[in-house]
Structure 1
Amino acid sequence: MQRLIFLLITLCWITFSLPGKAQENKFPDVWPRTAVKHPVPTGAQYNVPYFTLIHRETFDFNVNNEDKAAGIAYYHKLYKSIQIQQTLNRDTFNSIQFNVPSNEETRSFNIRKISADGTATNLARNARAVNNNAGGTTISVEGLEANAGDEIEYELVSKASGYAGIFSMQSEIPCAEALFRLTAPKTMKFNFSSNIPQATPTATEDGNSNVYTFTQENVTPIRNNPLYNVKPALARLEFALAEITEGSKTTKINWQDFGKETFIPYAAINKQEARLVEKELANLPFLKQRIPLPTLLYLLEQYMKTNYQLIPTDPYLNPGDLSAAIRTRRTDKMGMIKLMNAFLYYLNIPTHMLFTSSRDEIPLQKDLVNPQLATNVLLYFPTLGQAMAPGEPESRFPCYPANWINLLAVRCHDTLIGDKSEVLTDLINTPLPDYTLSNISMDATLTDLNNPSWEVTQSYGGYAAINVKRGFERAGKDEGRRNAAFNSILPLEPAVRKVTSYSATNELFTNQPLDKPVVVKSKLNTPSLVENKGTGKNIKLGDLLSGSLILNPVMPEDTLPVQLAFPFYFETRLHIDIPEGYKVMNKDDFAANIGDKNENLGMKMRLVQDGNKAHIFVVQYFKLVDYKGADKALFKKILERVLILKQQELILGK
């Protein structure tokens, strides 16, 4: 079912004891007892089925003593009003859904529908709340039965922990008015940042408090595009505590303090855990051999993820308990990271920890300390410039989750200064894997045009290999699922090919590192791809040549980048026997050389004849994951050429 999704994003981390008195009335009469319809703006952008009339959020850091003692940092109030412009299909739209983050405790929720004639219908009884995978709550309200002219408004009041947050004012529908207000004692100083020009809150004083307000009118909807991540591009205003004064002492909030507090629980182990770790390492046969460090790291991760079961964190147990982990072969995400960190420490392998966000979430900022964004954990190897994600079951070194590539991260490691251990913290970007790691290739040979069957060999390395291995791991030994996995990666559409044989090697996670590719071999009968045209023959090669790029040359708007999942290298080699008496009539159609001096991306194609054999070579390479400016324009040229390539035919004539 299509739904309105409204994300409430307020992210948090640490708590302080703060002075001040709670102030409740920040937007007077936001939820009046008597429902009153709001004026509806006009304009082309509002000629849509529905849009946001008003989006208001207040963050009040004047918290009473009882709530401070309970770890509450601020009171959060969200108000939204949705204007319905057209009667909506009940089968496709009849609900609202939004997420309350894990740091918020809901105190009250109101929702109602105001009909065109002013009649109000309370919808609160239709609301349902369930826990979600992110640790927060998903609230769904069914049975809207919205008609043209109706207005749906709701208000959510909650208590929240943490001293940073995000006011997202943009979504997939227009917003007529977005209002932000933050109130805090004068002893607290905040930093603000926005990805839209001149979005600086206005500061005023109200007694012992500072008040920061910002209003944005006529917020245009964001356009979805598979070539970039939408959430980081949403128009937003971020805030974070910069410093707090208590008496004569002023404390500055920085990433260094976060690093020290976060690093230690992952690095510290007791004597009993240390003995168990040493015993565990003594039982690993591959440690008795001299092997290159990258191979050793892969084998350690493969051993741990094969022999230890990842389980959800139990709030009633000690997270990351290594003694229990080694004894039961079961542990949570923190335990997996802590165990691998301990292995590396006892093997004397220099290791740093990285804490980062995700490319489909809001990224970290150097001068805005929002620790809740830095929840993804990597182990970083400075001598290799590569990283590992022990807590993620489907990744293997040197690949870590693709959504974490090339993001700002907090780096932490300990060192000995004199006779005292110190935790050092700085900010770096997560590693950008070399594009040659994720090599994808296809070699296909056609020897008989009268009985056109292709002998095909496909290979996948790096991130591409992980994607293939995931499919086969999930399929297990189920023949139907394995066949489905093969069908998803074999070239050509099922309608134009008959698979007469297929096999795969190294398709599961084993002790073979990721530089050893997955290899898939198949034989495909394709009679419809060879067409007799008079005395000549046309061979339809487009689907074999074009590869797996998204065939949509519509670029993200304005300054938004093109974003790829990971750097990769794609190569196609076709070998075709030309019948006696025939020759290639359109050799120039298979010539392309798209690139520039930066060589961040490119495409090359050529056709070579060797006697009665034609060899077609196509190479596409993408060394980065984000492309802007001239690189973005070049990416568009490549996609446009791939669209032409998809229709390509090899023409043989006499």
Structure 2
Amino acid sequence: MRLPFLAVFLLTSASLSAQTLPPDLIHAGYNWDTKRHQRLPVSAAEAELPAVVLRDFTSLEYYYDKAAKDVRLFATEHRIVRVNSSDGIENYNKIVVPVLASGAPVDIKARTIGPRGEVHEVKAADMKELKDQEGGRGFRVFAVDGVEKGSEIEYFYTRERRVNHFGSEILQSDTPAHDVTFELISPKSLTFEARVYHGPAMTPDTTMAERRALHLHLDNVSGLRDEAFANVKAQRMRAEYKLAYMASKGQVRQFTWADASQYVYRSVNSLTKDEAKAVTKVLEASKLVTIPVRVLPLPDRIRAVENYVKLNFNLEEGASGNLEQIVATHNAPETGFSHLMAAIYRAMGIDFEVVVTSSREAVPFDGTFDTWNYLDHFAFYFPATGEYLAPSRPDYRYGMLPADWTGGTGLFIKGVKLGNVESAVGKVKDIPALGADQSSQDIDATVTFAPDLSNSTIRLRQTLGGYPAAEIQPFWTMIPEAKRTEILQGLQKSVVPDASNFQMLEVRNTERDISPLDKPFIVEGQMESAALLDKAGPRYLFKIGTLLGPQTELYQKEERQFDVENDNNHRYLRTIRFDVPAGYAVRNLNDLNVDVKAGSDAAKPDFDFRSSYVQNGQTITVTVAENYRQLRWPKADFEAFRAVVNAAANWNKVVLVLDKKS
């Protein structure tokens, strides 16, 4: 999320209006190779792929407009893509170019080169503009028709972009690429810095007169394939860049973490007179300030504020961020929730720090490179309790942040007083992930076989805590009554797929103002199954393994690309009880005993799958525990992690054989 007040801070007026291409841009006369009438070569292996990128050129030029006395930003992009299949054609035969609200791209051309060397240039008349239905952002979209398998699609354009002082460029996708170039050009008066992740560093280009330039060229960039237990987006090669110095400011570094701390602190905590009055109205209506400090512990006071705001105000991204308007309409954007909640906590004397971070699933926060491009998500940290809160997420409660905000670092900002002056300091610190026991997904199942062994009755309780519960618990009261039974049965059928004849079905802990860390989401039911027990001649087969629910299998043949990274730490605890039918014995009870672990601590490994059973007369109780206590695991030791995951998948196939006693 790019925060609105930050976006306003970054824009310059000239970037929104002019559409004339300045003649002294570095790439003002950019063109493709007009003499080329044959396709570029590809290998035999590449010819079998859906597509391969043969040129990927991106140039960003910050240009000083002398007439407007302002900086403008132009992007030149050039792509050549060989498409070898229907999927490849479908993915690349529509070219989408974002444009400013005031007009079209400055210059754009497209053509195809067919397998037999036929060249077809797309005419301007074939281009049509569409509007993004959600945000109204403009696009120029044009289709490249009549593309055959084996054709090349080539296009380039120069367009004006909104000026920003930092940004990101993705250099890798799931399609392999050759001849990849990214360059960043600016006037001599502006010095940009860049950091490349998962690739080589950009280097200064000194060949451009009166300009500074950073350049990166790669002959080959491999395509990324999807991979289980990995954040593939975060592993893409990308370049982060920022404006570091301005000639007018000398050697003073710009847009530092210290600058960000001051700016964010003021944005979250400052109030106009009218906004202060609006906050007073909220305090009076909510009676929050009347809560006795000695009667209600600090965590409960924190929760009271959070619950009042999140239950009485609606999240609406198009709403005004002004607190006076928010209080009047009860609608607020994400920034409005942070602003309002901060004002209330300050009024109640509750100390907190603002934490700003990014999603580790896409662009992990890097505290060693001070680009404000990482300032995406706001959280509050309460030093007195050591807990966090996501003010702009109505689906989360005190003690929990979205999982992708945790397990990395963020900028912690706290207010300080210098005499009568209020200021702020910031420090990059870790944002810990929740422990495995805080995100539980437990099953308690009691299986009773019919006297004639024709079917089974299962009493099944599922207990979801932490992140598994967060997917359904906050939304339960908003689900139509008519749909709730269907959803509950669906949850039970994830464990007993052929469940039928539900004799009991109930749910607990569905209130909107509770946390799954305190009260897990519980579904309990009683149902019948005909498939759990099969007859095979004189014996019966009890498919006990299916009661674990669906399991992931890691049987990949390709070499592992990335380190393991889980969404969150989590645990599963399953307890299964059943009575062995009279006159029968279980042949293979030892199949229930499994102990697989990964990690140096044998008593509490990082990951483990353990199952065992206890028999008391005819009653057998099976306990299956599966724990993932660390987010990350090195790919060098991937086999140990895979063994744990596959132990669960293998147990899912366990079938107990019930032999009739002789």
Equivalent pairs: percent with the same residue? 19
Q: In the TM superposition, what is the alpha-carbon distance from 1:263 to its structure 2 partner?
A: 2.2
Q: In the TM superposition, what is the alpha-carbon distance from 1:637 to its structure 2 partner?
A: 1.0
Aligned residue number for residue 108 of structure 1: 106
Matched, 1:453 2:475: no
Worse-matched range after superposition: 202-211 or 369-378: 202-211
Matched, 1:307 2:312: yes
Equivalent pairs counted in the alignment come to: 633
Q: In the TM superposition, what is the alpha-carbon distance from 1:416 to its structure 2 partner?
A: 1.4
Taking the aligned partners of 2:512 and 2:652, their CA distance within structure 1 comes to 33
User: Structure 1's 15 and 333: CA in aligned 2 closer, same or farther, altered over 3 A?
Assistant: closer
SS class of match (1:189): strand
1:378-393 matched pairs, under 5 angstroms: 378-393=379-394
Taking the aligned partners of 1:221 and 1:256, their CA distance within structure 2 comes to 38
SS class of match (2:471): helix
Tell me the alpha carbon deviations over residues 226-275 of structure 1, each in whole angstroms, 9 at most, x when there is no partner. 42222221122332222222275644441211221122111112344334
User: Structure 1's 460 and 407: CA in aligned 2 closer, same or farther, altered over 3 A?
Assistant: same
Taking the aligned partners of 1:101 and 1:615, their CA distance within structure 2 comes to 64
Taking the aligned partners of 2:467 and 2:515, their CA distance within structure 1 comes to 14
Give TM-score scaled by structure 2 length. 0.86
User: Any conservation in 2 of the 1:500–1:523 contact (CA below 8 Å)?
Assistant: yes
Taking the aligned partners of 1:354 and 1:222, their CA distance within structure 2 comes to 32
Taking the aligned partners of 1:143 and 1:421, their CA distance within structure 2 comes to 58
User: Structure 1's 643 and 50: CA in aligned 2 closer, same or farther, altered over 3 A?
Assistant: same
Taking the aligned partners of 1:104 and 1:401, their CA distance within structure 2 comes to 37
Tell me the alpha carbon deviations over residues 268-327 of structure 1, each in whole angstroms, 9 at most, x when there is no partner. 12344334434433444676363443344334323212211222235xxxx432222223
Tell me the alpha carbon deviations over residues 18-55 of structure 1, each in whole angstroms, 9 at most, x when there is no partner. 9xx98423386335778855523335234323221111
Tell me the alpha carbon deviations over residues 627-652 of structure 1, each in whole angstroms, 9 at most, x when there is no partner. 32467443211111122111111223
Aligned residue number for residue 225 of structure 2: 223
SS class of match (2:540): strand
User: Structure 1's 609 and 104: CA in aligned 2 closer, same or farther, altered over 3 A?
Assistant: farther
Taking the aligned partners of 1:501 and 1:46, their CA distance within structure 2 comes to 58
Q: Match for 1:521 among 516, 519, 524?
A: 524
User: Structure 1's 471 and 419: CA in aligned 2 closer, same or farther, altered over 3 A?
Assistant: closer
Give TM-score scaled by structure 1 length. 0.87
User: Structure 1's 614 and 26: CA in aligned 2 closer, same or farther, altered over 3 A?
Assistant: same
1:199-598 matched pairs, under 5 angstroms: 199-246=201-248, 248=250, 250-284=252-286, 288=291, 290-314=295-319, 319-449=320-450, 450=453, 451-470=455-474, 472-477=476-481, 479-480=482-483, 482-484=485-487, 486-488=489-491, 490-492=493-495, 494-495=497-498, 497-511=500-514, 514-545=517-548, 547=549, 549-554=551-556, 558=560, 560-595=562-597, 596-598=599-601
User: Structure 1's 66 and 505: CA in aligned 2 closer, same or farther, altered over 3 A?
Assistant: farther
SS class of match (2:437): coil
User: Any conservation in 2 of the 1:387–1:431 contact (CA below 8 Å)?
Assistant: no
Aligned residue number for residue 83 of structure 1: 82
Aligned residue number for residue 49 of structure 2: 48
User: Structure 1's 419 and 470: CA in aligned 2 closer, same or farther, altered over 3 A?
Assistant: closer
Taking the aligned partners of 2:435 and 2:331, their CA distance within structure 1 comes to 34
Tell me the alpha carbon deviations over residues 581-615 of structure 1, each in whole angstroms, 9 at most, x when there is no partner. 33332222112222233432222211111221101
AA aligned to 2:656 is L
AA aligned to 2:74 is Y
Q: In the TM superposition, what is the alpha-carbon distance from 1:467 to its structure 2 partner?
A: 0.8
Worse-matched range after superposition: 584-593 or 282-291: 282-291
User: Structure 1's 416 and 93: CA in aligned 2 closer, same or farther, altered over 3 A?
Assistant: closer
SS class of match (1:354): strand
Q: In the TM superposition, what is the alpha-carbon distance from 1:502 to its structure 2 partner?
A: 1.4
User: Any conservation in 1 of the 2:441–2:468 contact (CA below 8 Å)?
Assistant: yes
SS class of match (1:63): strand
User: Structure 1's 490 and 496: CA in aligned 2 closer, same or farther, altered over 3 A?
Assistant: closer
User: Any conservation in 1 of the 2:305–2:345 contact (CA below 8 Å)?
Assistant: no
User: Any conservation in 1 of the 2:440–2:468 contact (CA below 8 Å)?
Assistant: yes
Taking the aligned partners of 1:640 and 1:241, their CA distance within structure 2 comes to 48
Q: In the TM superposition, what is the alpha-carbon distance from 1:88 to its structure 2 partner?
A: 6.0
Taking the aligned partners of 2:101 and 2:342, their CA distance within structure 1 comes to 28
Aligned residue number for residue 120 of structure 1: 120
> CA-atom RMSD, angstroms?
3.3
Gaps of at least 5 residues in structure 1 are: 1-10
User: Any conservation in 2 of the 1:258–1:371 contact (CA below 8 Å)?
Assistant: yes
Q: In the TM superposition, what is the alpha-carbon distance from 1:380 to its structure 2 partner?
A: 1.7
User: Structure 1's 574 and 374: CA in aligned 2 closer, same or farther, altered over 3 A?
Assistant: same
SS class of match (1:487): helix
Worse-matched range after superposition: 332-341 or 293-302: 293-302
User: Structure 1's 65 and 428: CA in aligned 2 closer, same or farther, altered over 3 A?
Assistant: farther
Aligned residue number for residue 7 of structure 1: none
1:137-148 matched pairs, under 5 angstroms: 137=138, 140-142=141-143, 144-148=145-149
Q: In the TM superposition, what is the alpha-carbon distance from 1:185 to its structure 2 partner?
A: 2.9
Matched, 1:616 2:622: yes
SS class of match (1:129): strand
